[in-house]
Amino acid sequence: MTDPRRILLVNGPNLNLLGTREPAIYGSDTLADVEALVTRTAAETGFEVRAVQSNHEGVLLDAIHAAREDCAGIVINAGGLTHTSVILRDALAGVALPVAEVHISNVYEREQFRHHSYIADLAAVHAVGEGIAGYATATRRLIAVITGQADG
């Protein structure tokens, strides 16, 4: 049974390095800043957030699977797994929750291999190239989908 007032925030490999990893591309905000922003944004409409970050695909899969029991949707920045992981895509499809896909940089202005997302066709919401502000955009839009205020 899903809890209509909780979302799962998933951050994939290397996102633990935010703030120090390639700041010209990803900025100087940290993963803690991202998690705080999403928590504040969700709280605006009475939602809570459970956050997970891992450099291990199986940990992310387990968190996504668990979300079907107590979350109403998923905000995900899968990092490099966006472009490589069919099993991550299958996990998101399998839990059948609305998904918001986030990318801090504009992946469509970067290397060609970053232009394909295995998640894109599942996502009701996309936030690309907005820096960490994209997480707030994605959270608001996802909550609108969850609450029936927007199509998903």
50 is in an annotated binding site: no
141 in a labelled binding site: no
Residue 76 annotated as part of some ligand binding site: no
Query: Does 90 belong to an annotated binding site?
Result: yes
In the residue annotation, 26 being an active-site residue is answered as: yes
Q: d(Cα 42, Cα 48) in Å, to the nearest integer?
A: 6
Please indicate if the annotation marks 33 as binding a ligand.
no
Own/partner pairs, 14-18, CB within 8 angstroms, 24+ separation: 14/55, 14/79, 14/80, 15/53, 15/77, 15/79, 16/53, 16/55, 18/104, 18/132
103 is catalytic: yes
Catalytic residue among 56, 103, 116, 135: 103
Q: Catalytic pick from 26, 108, 115, 118?
A: 26
Q: Is residue 77 part of an annotated ligand binding site?
A: yes
**Binding site per annotation, positions for substrate:** 77, 83, 90, 104-105, 114
Active centre residues (catalytic): 26, 103
**Binding site per annotation, positions:** 77, 83, 90, 104-105, 114
